[in-house]
Structure 1
Amino acid sequence: MNTGPGRSATGPMTTEGFEEFARASQGRLYRTAYLLCGNAENARDLTQTTLAKLFQHWRRVGAAESPHAYARTVLTRTYLAERRRRLRDFLAHVPLDPPVAGTSPELTVTLLSALAELPPRARAMVVLRYWEDLSVDTVASLMRCSESTVKSQCSRSLARLRDHLGDAHVYADHA
């Protein structure tokens, strides 16, 4: 029996399982990607790249204990690899305009601006730890580092965010 690409021992390989998974998880992957990238266009690209990689290895992903955790790992590692290669800096990037004097900036824009000030690895740790609400040991495993590194990086990053944000929380009540 032919078991080459696109075929399994039981017949043609189907993508139904992947399509269902992609539909169910793309929103969450996009939100995480948006926090990592800081803009919609790069987040869409990162989400699509992640889904393409997952599709390419769907048998392994589909058999994983937690396909969503697998997807988050692929998303994070793809983001970090692209940052290391400076592809994201090479692509068109529109910096956020500074707020106009006398107006209150949206808390979301302020937070994204503050996150953009963090190095990519620290930013990924903060997003995974506090946005995705992952445990320290899970983040350490995803980032391939020690738990103490996650704790110290998150602590330093949160201090930088607090310094950068200052009284931005005041705007949350007026939004």
Structure 2
Amino acid sequence: MSEDSFDEFVRVRAGALARTAFLLTGDPHHAEDLVQNALARAAVHWARLDDPEAYVRRVLYTQAVSWWRVQRRRRREVLVDAPPERAAAVRDPDLGILLGRALARLTRRQRAVLVLRFYEDRSESETAAILSVGLGTVKSQTRHALRRLRELAPELGTLMSDRVDREAAP
């Protein structure tokens, strides 16, 4: 692959990669750093990559997990009252704000599992492999994260059902 194809890849995929990184980190600045690091690693190996998208996303996930492990040793997680300025791209602004606040209050591992399982549409086994954890951990973290989301924002269910009803209406 050529340098031009790398430039095109960055131009086309940077936005989606940044959204994923933000969902993984909950911090726009760290997400930006994560994407830049992943793209820098991809640039070094660009000519040998069969699937650049998969490679870059794998680097995003593994670097996010490495960062979490370092942070866990340094300090405890701090809950915030409000989400960062920009939340993930969601069509319904109310749903986006509510979801952003609720996700910010989950643990990093729970947030990563939900992003991989539902935003990236990964299987449980793929999620376990990406995060280097057991399948049981993915299952339990998914269950705990969804229960916690229901506790933190019960109105998410109402907004989601209203949205489904609007989309289903002729």
1:142 matched to 2:127: no
Give, in angstroms, the shift of residue 121 of structure 1: 2.0
Partner AA of 2:150 in structure 1 = R
Shift in alpha-carbon separation, 1:136–1:171, aligned structure 2, 3 A = closer
In 1, distance between residues paired with 2:63 and 2:116?
A: 14
1:84 matched to 2:72: no
2:42–2:52 Cα contact (<8 Å) kept: no
In 2, distance between residues paired with 1:146 and 1:84?
A: 16
Give, in angstroms, the shift of residue 74 of structure 1: 0.5
TM-score by length of 1: 0.71
5+ residue gaps, structure 2, are 84-92, 164-170
> 1:20-169, aligned counterparts within 5 Å?
20-60=8-48, 62=49, 64=50, 66-86=51-71, 95-97=80-82, 106-169=94-157
RMSD of aligned C-alpha atoms? 3.0
Shift in alpha-carbon separation, 1:138–1:97, aligned structure 2, 3 A = closer
Q: Which runs of 4+ in 1 moved over 3 A?
A: 95-98, 168-174
Give, in angstroms, the shift of residue 126 of structure 1: 0.8
Structure with the higher helix share, 1 or 2: 2
5+ residue gaps, structure 1, are 1-12, 99-104
Select the structure of larger CA radius of gyration: 1
Give, in angstroms, the shift of residue 149 of structure 1: 2.1
2:2–2:47 Cα contact (<8 Å) kept: no
